[in-house]
């Protein structure tokens, strides 16, 4: 379902086709923007539209698509009591400018996205793995990362057996 | 508006000392096993004598890959996993997840189920705050409140056990409502509990609130301003103690909370003492909600009409609730099959823990433990 | 030889004053044994009382109601492996607990359990006590240093800083009590412990109530300072487990560690007895001057007996409430035996010759026991002070108040 509001109108005017989609699903509004303008959109949302709280930043992996990763910001505005999702698509290996200069929350959130998906963020002060050990190979939440395969690898190396299943 | 870059000065552990004047700095490690870190949390502190210059948290010791597991389980099968994240407040986790999936299916739980959910969730809020109080007081040196709060927690855990068979990881709710009807005597037990507990909460307050040593240990310690909280994404009692009157139960009501009349306690200074007061008052407000709910439980079914095989249409949803620790959110992406395509849990403790560095700068070493306690983190949720 | 021994029995002075070495040694052994038993009892009482404060039971299994627990703990500590860190300074490591122990135990020489019941009565008694108990700071620093590990070192430095800060407030409070001793008819004060109690006797008032509330404030200052002096809650930051530095006794295990605990409890009893002697009338029974006369003396002299009978009754009720299961038979019999022993002691304390002799010692020990209970109560109730706040309390709060008390006491003493 399409969604229109003053915010959307303003972005449409400014970016034209860069704003791919703005809809609402089950009562939740979201906008899909081009990865080139996404950073600016976030900056404008923070500075001018009073979305001062970045609730979450996450990613979804669609290996079949050309632009494999969906990067998502969930934003909330205290004064308007409004929640908004911003989605953008980036390709595998592409990096994205960091939002830590806009919201400080995204410090650890970006580290987790890097840890789990391998998406690098330019300008992040200290992009290293957060939940997994430093020397871990691979990025688990990608769809091509098999847990069974990882487990078998580990038990082969460390326990010398064929499979732990 | 403070500069976000100011929050991000990291410890620069790899750099060598510039001049010999810097040699006073000491880097010590509050290791993963430590009596006071509430789980396996490692904090690397950069000290100048007794003063803390910076703190870096190393987490991930309890990472179990819950989000990856979700992609390989059906929606119903994933329900028990959700309790294990914030294992202290398992009922809230279950509530958030069930409500998120219900939203995705565009169904609503019946009124009776909503009331039961509210009662159990608020009881769980009490449990979580009582555990927080006991362990926080123990870290600061007061040994006795721990035993008092655990004794009172027992009553709630008995109610949980009679209701769903488990004390801690309850798996109390199902997608579409509740599975178990309230047992005979549920209302009587809950009413007895809410009559007996207010004097006990007064007892905890008597031991601590006006105790001069407690006040000196907690006032002015770990201050964080409202602007910093919003920028860092800190929610829950920490945000409310800094003065922001915001609670998801009032701002974006879910599960029958709009039927009840309760208040949101806020603090003024944003220090540890205010967070203590806010949580104590939240306990009392929870009792108020439970009292109203128990008196007015409507009759009716407890489970909505949910298809046998849950296959939500393609789409995404984000739903968040006010867990005892802060805003707990679930972002679920469905691709039309029986297994979710992606489940993202937005853990309040993870985001709150980021604020630790800012809160302990300039404090003494003994305060670091008080601040970790006051943030009320559960490592199961931080690491998932 | 026999003459030497029996000649003392007729005298009315302490063995030290009489110069009788044999009896001095006997008294020393009695006091040493008594303090050791007291430390064990204190260990049991602490665990039980703390548990009851926290709505639990405490040790119940080793002996009826945990009465044999201290013995089990002692045996465990003695049979543990004695670990000495490799890089530690071995001689200093070995001698540090001994210094603390000697410092804590030496002060018992001058503690008066009665008008002539002390090992000796130096005319500088209180000065001796304060001075020798300060030597334990040396032991603390040596323990931290010799462990060759920076956490115990930091802990021991903090501990020693805390101890010497609070000694000043202690000393000034003691000074104001000593000033009060000079207000008797002869106009001369005294530093001897027995002399201080006798001064209270002559002035017909316990110094805690003299120039009320001045004496009481001095007592409170001393009571707070003595808790900090012995590193007990709420001033136990150097020993606390949840802080980063785990205290100066981290590297000690087994018997050496138990020596530290022994020294700590002995120091607690020693400073409590200073407080009792200086302010609470030492061995005098309560209300010595307001409730005078033969009958009141009789009433108060019956109290020890009744106390032990009451304890025997409580133990007996415990026996009755024991579970009636064969596994509990030995415990029930043990508790019944304990109750019987207590009752027997109570009955013996009713016999007139014993009754008269035991008065002084009983009241002294009862008052010290009250202070010990207070120590446990503090530990159960209060959170811990942070180190800088602890130092602030010692220097910025207690010190000015104790100076003030001293000055006002001096002024009032001259005025009246």
Tell me the two tokens of residue A92: 């595998």
Element (H, E) at B107: none
Q: Find out whether C311 and C298 touch, Cβ atoms under 8 Å.
A: no
| Domain extents in chain C | 79-284+387-415, 294-350
Interval B97-108 mean pLDDT: 90
- Supply the pLDDT for residue C250: 76
Radius of gyration of chain B (CA): 21
> Do strands A82-90 and A28-33 pair parallel, antiparallel, or not at all (unpaired)?
parallel
Per-residue pLDDT at A156 exceeds 60: yes
Among residues B272, B224, B261, the alpha carbon closest in space to that of B244 is found at B224
Same domain, B52 and B74: no
Q: pLDDT digits over B301-320, tens only? A: 888 888 888 888 898 899 99
Kindly report the CATH number assigned to the domain that includes residue A28: 3.30.460.80
pLDDT at position B129 is 93
CB-CB neighbors (< 8 A) of B320 in chain A: 55
| In a domain? residue A83 | yes
Instruction: Average the pLDDT over A107-130 and give the result.
Output: 88
b/e code B70-94 from CB counts within 10 Å (16+ = b) = bbebebbebbebbbbbbebbbbbbb
Give CA separation, C185 vs A89, C179, C180, C182, C203, in Å: 98, 14, 12, 8, 9
Over residues C155-193, the pLDDT tens digits come to 888 888 888 899 999 999 999 888 888 877 777 788 888
Q: Is B365 on the interface with C (CB under 8 A)?
A: yes
Chain A positions with Cβ closer than 8 Å to B: 25-26, 28, 30, 52-56, 58, 60-61, 72, 74, 78, 81, 83, 85, 100-105, 107-109, 112, 116, 125-126, 129-133, 140-141, 145, 147
Domain boundary among B42, B58, B74: B58
Q: How far is CA A91 from CA A96, A117, C94, in A?
A: 10, 12, 68
Nearest Cα of chain C lies from the Cα of B155 at a distance, in angstroms, of 15
Q: Confirm if A114 and A71 have CB atoms less than 8 A apart.
A: no
pLDDT above 70 for A74: yes
Chain C closest CA to B202's CA: distance in Å?
Answer: 15
Q: How far apart are CA B250 and CA B256, in angstroms?
A: 11
Q: Who contacts A90 (Cβ-Cβ below 8 Å, separation ≥6)? A: A35, A67, A68, A69, A71, A96, A119
Average pLDDT for chain C: 86
Do residue B141 and residue C236 have CB atoms under 8 angstroms apart? yes
Alpha-carbon gap, residue C94 to B250, rounded angstroms? 65
Q: Tell me, yes or no, whether B26 and B144 share the same domain.
A: no
**Pairing outcome for strands B42-48 and B51-58:** antiparallel
Give the residue, A165 or B97, on which the prediction is more confident. Answer: B97
Chain B residues in contact with C236 by the CB 8 A cut-off are 141
CATH of residue B367: 1.10.645.10
Tell me which DSSP letter residue B20 carries. G
How far does B313 lie from chain A, in Å, by closest CA? Answer: 11
The CA dihedral of B284, B285, B287, B293, to the nearest 10 degrees, is: 170
Q: Mark yes or no for CB contact B60/A130 under 8 Å.
A: yes
- Phi, psi at C218, each rounded to 5°: -60, -40
Q: Per the CB < 8 Å rule, is B139 touching C242? A: yes
Nearest CA in chain B to C150: B28
For chains A and B, having 3+ Cβ pairs within 8 Å is answered yes
Q: State the greatest distance between any 2 C-alpha atoms of chain B, in Å, as a whole number.
A: 75
Res B9 pLDDT > 50: no
pLDDT tens-digit profile of C398-407? 999 999 999 9
One domain for residues B280 and B227: yes
> Residue B138, preceding bond cis, omega within 30 degrees?
no
Q: In the predicted model, what is the mean pLDDT of chain B?
A: 86
Chains that touch A (3 or more CB pairs under 8 A): B
Rounded CA separation B37/C190 (Å): 54
- Position B1 confidence tier, pLDDT thresholds 50, 70, 90: very low
Distance CA C97, CA C144 (A): 11
For the ranges B32-41, B325-334, C382-391, the lowest mean pLDDT is seen at: B32-41
How far does the CA of residue B290 sit from the closest CA of chain A (Å)? 26
Distance from CA of residue C308 to its chain's centroid?
A: 21
Chain B neighbours, 3+ Cβ pairs < 8 A: A, C
Secondary structure element (H or E) that encloses residue A73, with its range: strand A69-77
pLDDT at C150: 74
- CB burial of A61-89 (b: ≥16 within 10 Å; e: otherwise) equals bbeeeeebbbbbbbbbbbeeebbbbbbbb
Closest residue by Cα to residue C312 from C340, C331, C348: C340
> Which of C296, C304, C305 has the alpha carbon at shortest distance from C362?
C304
Q: Are residues B152 and B290 in the same domain?
A: yes
Q: Which band of pLDDT confidence, cut at 50, 70 and 90, is reported for residue C25?
A: confident
> Does residue A154 sit within a domain?
no
Q: Does B215 touch chain C (CB under 8 A)?
A: no
Q: Is residue A147 part of a domain?
A: no
**CA dist A152 → A17, A141, B71, B299, C251 (Å):** 47, 18, 19, 52, 43
Choose the mutation target among B51, B213, B222, B276 for the interface with C, i.e. most C CBs under 10 Å.
B213
pLDDT beyond 70 at B24: no
CB half-sphere exposure, B128, CA atoms < 13 A = 30
Residue B293 and residue B164 share a domain:
yes
Distance CA A19, CA A32 (A): 6
The stretch C281-298 carries a mean pLDDT of: 81
Residues of B in contact with C382 (CB under 8 A): 141-142, 211, 213
Name the pairing type of β-strands B326-334 and B315-323: antiparallel
User: Residue A64 domain-assigned?
Assistant: yes
Same domain flag for B39 and B131:
no
Residues 6+ apart with CB under 8 A from B63: A131, A132, B383, B384
Judge: A81–B7 Cβ closer than 8 Å, yes or no. no
Please indicate whether, in this complex, the C-beta atoms of B333 and A130 are within 8 angstroms of each other: no
Flag whether residue B216 sits within 8 Å of chain C, measured between CB atoms.
Answer: yes
What secondary structure does DSSP assign to C62-124, as a single string? TTGGGTTHHHHHHHHHHTS-----TTS-HHHHHHHHHHHHHHHHHGGGS--SSSS-SS---TT
State the total domains in chain A.
1
pLDDT at A148 over 90: no
CA torsion, ordered C31, C36, C38, C43, to nearest 10 deg: 170
Angle CA(B62)–CA(B239)–CA(B218) in degrees, nearest 5? 85
pLDDT at C370 over 90: yes
Query: Which chain B residues are within 8 Å of C57, Cβ to Cβ?
Result: none
Task: Give A144→chain B minimum CA distance, Å.
Answer: 12
Tell me the residues of C at the B interface, defined by beta carbons under 8 Å apart. Answer: 50, 53-56, 233-234, 236-237, 240-244, 379-389
From chain B, the residues in CB contact with C224 under 8 A are none
Indicate if the alpha-carbon torsion angle C16, C20, C21, C22 is positive or negative: negative
Dihedral angle over CA of C259, C262, C268, C273, nearest 10:
-120
Q: Give chain C positions within 8 Å (CB) of B208.
A: 383
Name which of B43-52, B116-125, C305-314 the model is least confident about: B43-52
Q: Per-residue pLDDT for B101 more than 60? A: yes
B27 touches chain C (CB under 8 A): no
Residue A39 belongs to what domain range? 6-139
Chain-chain contact of C242 with B35 (C-beta, under 8 angstroms) = yes
pLDDT band at B19 (very low <50, low <70, confident <90, very high): very low
**Residue among B60, B104, B317 whose CB faces A131 most closely:** B60
Q: What is residue B143's predicted lDDT score, i.e. its pLDDT?
A: 85
The 3-state DSSP class for residue C284 equals coil
Is the pLDDT confidence value at B13 over 50?
A: no
Specify the number of domains making up chain B: 2
Whole-angstrom CA distances from C300 to C273, C288, C306, C356, C363 are 21, 10, 10, 11, 10
Residue A102 domain-assigned (yes or no):
yes
Instruction: Compute the distance between CA of residue B281 and CA of residue B267 in angstroms, rounded to an integer.
Output: 10
Q: What is the rounded average pLDDT of the residues A14-41?
A: 82
Q: What percent of chain C has pLDDT over 70?
A: 97
Region A55-79: mean pLDDT is: 88
Contact A104 B344 (CB under 8 A): no
Searching chain B, which residue's CA lies closest to the CA of residue C151?
B28
Give the separation between CA B272 and CA B220, rounded to whole angstroms. Answer: 7
Which domain covers residue B336, as residue numbers? 66-383
Give residue A125's region: left, alpha or beta (phi > 0; psi -120 to 50): alpha
Does residue B209 sit in the same domain as residue B140?
Answer: yes
Inform me whether the pLDDT recorded for C148 exceeds 90: no
């Amino acid at each position: 379902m399409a969604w229109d509001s003053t915010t959307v109108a303003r972005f449409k005017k400014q970016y034209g086709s860069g704003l791919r989609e703005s809809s609402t699903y089950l009562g939740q509004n979201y906008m899909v923007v081009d990865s080139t303008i996404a950073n600016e959109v976030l900056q404008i949302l923070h500075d001018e539209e009073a979305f001062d709280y970045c609730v979450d930043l996450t990613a979804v992996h669609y290996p079949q698509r050309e632009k494999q990763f969906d990067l998502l910001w969930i934003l909330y505005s205290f004064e308007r009591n409004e929640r908004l999702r911003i989605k953008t698509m980036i390709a595998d290996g592409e990096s994205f400018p960091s939002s830590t200069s806009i919201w400080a929350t995204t410090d650890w959130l970006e580290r987790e996205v890097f840890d789990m998906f391998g998406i690098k963020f330019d300008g992040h002060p200290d992009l290293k793995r957060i939940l997994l050990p430093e020397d871990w190979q691979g990025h688990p939440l990608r769809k091509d990362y098999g847990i069974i395969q990882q487990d078998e690898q580990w038990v082969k190396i460390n326990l010398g057996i064929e499979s732990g299943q | 508006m403070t500069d976000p870059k100011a929050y991000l000065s990291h410890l620069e552990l790899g750099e060598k000392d510039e001049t010999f004047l810097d040699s006073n700095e000491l880097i010590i490690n509050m290791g993963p096993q430590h009596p006071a870190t509430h789980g396996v949390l490692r904090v690397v502190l950069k000290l100048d004598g007794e003063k803390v210059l910076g703190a870096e948290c190393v987490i991930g010791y309890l990472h179990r890959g819950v989000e990856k597991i979700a992609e390989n389980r059906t929606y119903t099968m994933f329900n028990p996993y959700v309790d294990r994240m914030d294992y202290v407040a398992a009922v809230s986790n279950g509530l958030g997840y069930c409500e998120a999936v219900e939203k995705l299916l565009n169904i609503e739980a019946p009124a009776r189920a909503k009331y039961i959910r509210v009662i159990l969730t608020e009881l769980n809020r009490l449990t979580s705050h009582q555990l927080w109080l006991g362990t926080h007081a123990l870290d600061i040196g007061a040994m006795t409140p721990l035993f008092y709060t655990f004794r009172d927690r027992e009553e709630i855990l008995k109610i949980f056990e009679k209701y769903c068979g488990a004390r801690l990881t309850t798996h109390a709710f199902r997608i579409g409502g509740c599975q178990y009807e309230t047992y005979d005597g549920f209302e009587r037990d809950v009413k007895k509990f809410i009559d007996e507990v207010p004097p006990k909460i007064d007892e905890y307050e008597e031991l601590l609130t006006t105790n001069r040593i407690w006040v000196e240990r907690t006032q002015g310690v770990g201050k964080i301003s409202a602007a910093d909280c919003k920028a860092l994404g800190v929610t829950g009692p920490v945000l409310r103690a800094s003065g922001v009157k915001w609670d998801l139960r009032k701002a974006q009501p879910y599960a029958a909370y709009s039927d009840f009349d309760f208040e949101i306690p806020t603090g003024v200074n944003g220090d540890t003492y205010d967070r203590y007061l806010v949580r104590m008052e939240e306990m009392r407000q929870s009792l108020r909600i439970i009292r109203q709910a128990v008196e007015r439980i409507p009759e009716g079914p407890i489970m909505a009409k949910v298809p046998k095989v849950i296959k939500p249409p393609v789409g995404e949803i984000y739903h968040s609730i006010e867990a005892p620790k802060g805003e707990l959110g679930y972002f679920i992406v469905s691709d039309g099959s029986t297994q979710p395509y992606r489940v993202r849990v937005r853990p309040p403790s993870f985001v709150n823990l980021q604020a630790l560095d800012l809160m302990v700068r300039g404090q003494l070493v003994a305060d670091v433990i008080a601040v970790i306690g006051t943030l009320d983190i559960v490592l199961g949720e931080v690491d998932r | 030889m026999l003459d030497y021994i029996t000649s003392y029995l007729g005298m009315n002075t302490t063995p030290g004053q009489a110069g009788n070495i044999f009896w001095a040694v006997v008294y020393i052994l009695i006091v040493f044994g008594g303090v050791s038993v007291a430390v064990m009892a204190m260990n049991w009482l602490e665990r039980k009382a703390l548990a009851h404060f926290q709505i639990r039971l405490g040790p119940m299994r080793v002996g009826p109601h945990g009465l044999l627990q201290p013995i089990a703990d002692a045996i465990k500590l003695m049979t543990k492996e004695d670990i000495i860190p490799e890089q530690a300074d071995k001689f200093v490591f070995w001698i540090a607990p001994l210094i603390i122990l000697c410092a804590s135990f030496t002060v018992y020489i001058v503690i008066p359990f009665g008008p002539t019941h002390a090992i000796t009565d130096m005319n500088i008694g209180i000065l001796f006590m304060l001075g020798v108990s300060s030597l334990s700071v040396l032991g603390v620093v040596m323990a931290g240093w010799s462990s060759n590990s920076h956490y115990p070192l930091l802990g021991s430095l903090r501990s020693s800083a805390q101890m010497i800060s609070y000694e000043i407030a202690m000393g000034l409070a003691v000074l104001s009590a000593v000033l009060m001793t000079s207000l008797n008819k002869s106009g001369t004060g005294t530093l001897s412990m027995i002399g201080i109690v006798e001064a209270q006797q002559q002035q017909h008032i316990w110094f805690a109530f003299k120039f009320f509330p001045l004496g009481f404030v001095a007592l409170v200052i001393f009571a707070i300072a003595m808790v900090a002096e012995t590193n007990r809650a709420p001033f136990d930051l150097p020993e606390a487990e949840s802080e980063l530095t785990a205290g100066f006794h981290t590297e000690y295990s087994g018997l050496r560690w138990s020596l530290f605990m022994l020294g700590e409890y002995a120091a607690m009893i020693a400073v409590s007895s200073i407080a009792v002697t200086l302010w609470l009338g030492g061995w005098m029974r309560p209300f010595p001057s307001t409730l005078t006369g033969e009958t009141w003396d009789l009433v108060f002299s019956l109290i020890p007996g009744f106390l032990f009978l009451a304890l025997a009754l409580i133990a007996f009720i415990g026996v009755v409430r024991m579970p009636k299961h064969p596994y509990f038979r030995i415990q029930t019999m043990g508790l019944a035996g304990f109750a019987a022993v207590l009752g027997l002691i109570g009955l013996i304390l009713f016999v007139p010759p014993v009754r008269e002799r035991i008065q002084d010692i009983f009241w002294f020990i009862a008052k010290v026991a009250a202070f010990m209970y207070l120590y446990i109560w503090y530990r159960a109730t209060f959170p811990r002070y942070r180190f800088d706040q602890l130092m602030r309390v010692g220097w910025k709060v207690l010190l000015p108040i104790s100076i003030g008390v001293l000055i006002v006491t001096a002024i009032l003493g001259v005025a009246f």
